[in-house]
Structure 1
Amino acid sequence: MNIQGSMTTVLPIEDESQVGHARRVAQFLAVECDFDETDAGRVALVATELATNLLKHAHHGALHLRAIPAQGGHGLELIAIDRGPGFNPTECLTDGFSTGGTQGTGLGALKRQAQLFDVYSDSRGSVVLAQLYPRHVSALPLRFGVSQHSLKNDAACGDVWHLAVDGSRLSALVIDGIGHGEDAEAAGLAGAAAFAEAPFADPTSSMLDMHQAMNGTRGGAAAIALHDAGKVRFAGIGNIGACLLTAEKSRGMASHPGIVGSQFRKVVAFDYPVESRHLLVMYSDGLQSRWDLRDYPGLTHRHPAIIAALLHRDFCRGRDDVTVMVIALEAIVD
């Protein structure tokens, strides 16, 4: 399976009028993903509830939307993100519990409507995830999350990502085309197209193929992580960040200087052993590199889409395209 990258749609939620807009956008995306009227109605309900909760409890925030690959089609991912006071998810998922004088059925109703539901909340804010699928479609066994955003919501994004899955093997790519806009996007897409032709080749070989394909473009930074047989083989050129995480420790993955498509001295791949509880995180330099998930107790146990969204919320530089990819390796370890 080849999974081509896509950007995250961000809808600010700052006043009541934006709740209706979020509902309409979410329902439109659901119809584009072949949801029937009933299933699209579930999406509209979840979008409305998430947006309303943002206003009611955090006073403002954002709703992130993304079509997600699935077995037999596509699903829709909705993530509500805020910097509010936080809440106790266990209490708030209990019907009848309310902090706002309502009937207290909000989060519980969301959980019942979505095929996948997860929450992370602390004093810095909350991230609430809901994934919905049409009835004839089911989720992939791979748990991963991507938060990708162009600078100033440009239609073109210089960051490109790609995933390939074959049984227990997984190959992940992140490219950051130099600069931003259409020319940077063209460089990234050229590299991703070359990678997609043989995603399970050795990363050193894939990098050389990408280098040739990106010649004549702006070029960019790139990193490939190939997971197979209990290890991750990693090769990087330029400033794509990557690390393997558990709840207790983090191990950075080494890249070499240079520009894919222009010049670099050599490509070297490094092997890293992995266990079933490892997370693989890859990110472009639109994200700050000085972060530590141990500052967020329990976060490594949440869905990777929540982790990616939270890292974007708290560590986005705000002056470049940004991509954060988080993959749970437990489902694909032999």
Structure 2
Amino acid sequence: MNIVGSLTQVLPIEDSSQIGHARRTAQQLAEQHGFDERDAGRVALVATELASNVLKHATHGELHLRALPRPAGFGIEMLAVDRAQGFDLQACLADGFSTGGTQGIGLGAISRLTEVFDVYADARGAVLLARLYPRTDREPDIRYGVSQHSLHDDPACGDVWYLAYEGASISALVIDGLGHGEEAERAGRAGAKAFALTPFADPVMLMEDMHRDMIGTRGGAVAFTQFDGRRDSLTFAGVGNIGASLIAADKSRGLASHPGIVGVQYRKARPFDYAHVNGHLLIMYSDGLQSRWNLQDYPGLVHRHPAVIASVLHRDFSRGRDDATVLVVALEAAHG
């Protein structure tokens, strides 16, 4: 199962006219990715309720959309993101609680229309996650999340990410092409293309393959991890300023990269190995995200879905002056 990175589609929710646009956009995305009329209707209903909820309790926010590659077909992911205080989660979860101008079916009912539903809310705002899969899709949810945004909403993004699942193993990549725009994107994609061929290869050789294919581009910062669920171990290799952390409920470990620019010049990137990581979160991020975040400042967030975590971190720590990517992966051997 290979998951090729893509940008987060962001829809502003600032007035009631944008609720209809969000509904239509989400429904069209579902139809384009194989949802039948009934399942696309579920997507439309959930998008309406999420967008309406933002407008009601926060007055403004965003709806984040993406298509989720699945073992057979696609799912649809929607995240309602805001910075409002005082979100009454229990009231919103109650069936029949109207969010204003909607059917008032409540987020509790929405949670039953979705295959995955999760929420995190505190004084800084709320993030609500909904993932919907076609009724014929019986595969379990793949527990990863990503929030990726280009500078000034440029269609080209110098950040690139990639995920590979193979049995009980997971390999995750983040590249930050130097600068931003089309040339940075070209550098990142050259590296990701090489990575995708052999994501579980020897780390030193894999980095060299990426370096070779990135020569002639601007080059970039590169980091990847290889999780082996059978051995309960993780290998990390990094060159440049991609941040990475292993996080458990009670502790956090930063993963160290080597200096250099892949595709230009770097010394041999010796990988680092970490044991007993099953059940941990892996968080990787480009330098478009500040590094001073700490999940301990968000009580309970470590137990939320990785997609919620990625959106919270991007909302609160994006620098706003570069492409930004946050990739969060639950390290679980259950994929075997």
TM-score, with length taken from structure 1: 0.96
Question: Aligned to 2:94, what secondary structure does the other structure show?
Answer: coil
The answer as to whether partners of 1:146 and 1:323 remain within 8 angstroms in 2 is: yes
In structure 1, give the amino acid aligned to 2:313: L
Percent of aligned pairs with the same residue?
A: 66
Deviation at 1:24, TM superposition (A): 1.0
C-alpha contact 1:9 1:66 (8 A) present in aligned 2: yes
> Are the aligned partners of 1:161 and 1:172 in contact in 2 as well (CA < 8 Å)?
yes
Residue matched to 1:244: 246
Q: Does structure 1 retain, via aligned residues, the 8 Å contact 2:234–2:277?
A: no
Q: Deviations along 1:89-132, whole A, 9 cap, x unmatched?
A: 34432325568799863211211211110000011100000001
Residue 214 of structure 1 corresponds to 214
Give the AA of the match of 2:31: V
- CA drift at 1:277: 2.6
- Corresponding residue of 2:267: 265
Residue aligned with 1:205, SS: helix
CA contact (8 A) 2:27 2:43 kept: yes
Q: Which residue of structure 2 aligns with residue 94 of structure 1?
A: 94
CA–CA separation in structure 2 for the residues paired with 1:140 and 1:261: 38
Query: How does 1:76-155 map onto structure 2 within 5 Å?
Result: 76-96=76-96, 105-155=105-155
Distance 1:247 1:152 in 2: 35
Work out the CA distance in 2 between the residues paired with 1:269 and 1:11: 39
8 Å contact from structure 1 (residues 145, 306) kept in 2:
yes
- For residues 297 and 235 of structure 1, what CA distance do their matches in structure 2 show? 30
Post-superposition CA distance 1:22-68 (Å, at most 9, x none)? 11111110111111111111111111111111111100000000101
Query: Where do 5+ consecutive residues of structure 1 fail to align?
Result: none
Does 2:29 correspond to 1:59? no
- C-alpha distance 65-103 of structure 1, shift in aligned 2 (>3 A): closer
The Cα of 1:230 is off from its aligned counterpart by 0.7
Question: In the alignment, what sits opposite 1:235?
Answer: 237
Q: Within 1, Cα distance between the matches of 2:206 and 2:13? A: 42
Following the alignment from structure 1 to structure 2, what is the Cα–Cα distance between the partners of residues 86 and 27? Answer: 30
Code of the aligned partner of 2:54 = L
The whole-number CA distance in structure 2 between the counterparts of 1:77 and 1:305 is 9
- The residue identity in structure 2 corresponding to 1:128 is L
Q: What is the alpha-carbon distance in structure 2 between the residues aligned to residue 186 and residue 178 of structure 1?
A: 10
Please give the alpha-carbon distance, in whole angstroms, between the structure 2 residues aligned to 1:72 and 1:295: 38
Q: In the aligned structure 1, how far is the partner of 2:193 from the partner of 2:98?
A: 50
SS of corresponding position for 1:7: coil
Is contact 1:63–1:80 with CA below 8 Å preserved after alignment? Answer: yes
The AA in structure 1 aligned to 2:251 is: K
Any residues of structure 2 matched to 1:23-62 within 5 Å, and which?
23-62=23-62
In 2: Cα distance, 1:330 partner to 1:218 partner:
35
C-alpha displacement at 1:136, in angstroms? 1.8
Which residue of the partner structure matches residue 310 of structure 1? Answer: 312
SS in 2 for 1:79: strand
- Once the two structures are superposed, residues 137-175 of structure 1 have per-residue CA deviations (whole angstroms, 9 ceiling, x without a partner) of 244453100111111111111100111111111111000
User: Which consecutive unaligned segments of at least 5 residues does structure 2 have?
Assistant: none
Identify which range, 252-261 or 63-72, moves more after superposition.
63-72
Work out the CA distance in 1 between the residues paired with 2:233 and 2:47.
Answer: 39
Say if 2:289 and 2:324, in contact at 8 Å, map to a contact too: yes
Q: 1:329 to 1:90 in 2, by over 3 A?
A: farther
Is residue 143–residue 304 contact of structure 1 (8 Å, CA) maintained in 2? yes
Task: Give deviations 1:263-312, integer Å, cap 9, x for gaps.
Answer: 01221100012333310000000000000000000001100000000000
CA distance in 2, matches of 1:36, 1:242: 39
Do 2:163 and 2:173's aligned partners in 1 also have CA atoms closer than 8 Å? yes
For 2:38 and 2:11, locate their aligned partners in 1 and report how far apart those are by CA, in whole Å.
23
CA distance in 1, matches of 2:251, 2:42: 39
The more displaced of 138-147 and 277-286 is: 138-147
What is the alpha-carbon distance in structure 1 between the residues aligned to residue 260 and residue 188 of structure 2? 15
State whether residues 169 and 332 of structure 1, in contact with CA within 8 Å, keep that contact through their aligned partners in structure 2. no
Name the CA shift for 1:103/1:47 in 2 (closer, same or farther; >3 Å): closer
Q: CA deviation at 1:201?
A: 0.6
Among 254, 276, 279, the residue aligned to 2:278: 276
Aligned residues: 334
CA RMSD of aligned residues (A): 1.8
1:299 alignment partner, one of 286, 298, 301: 301
AA at the equivalent of 1:46: V
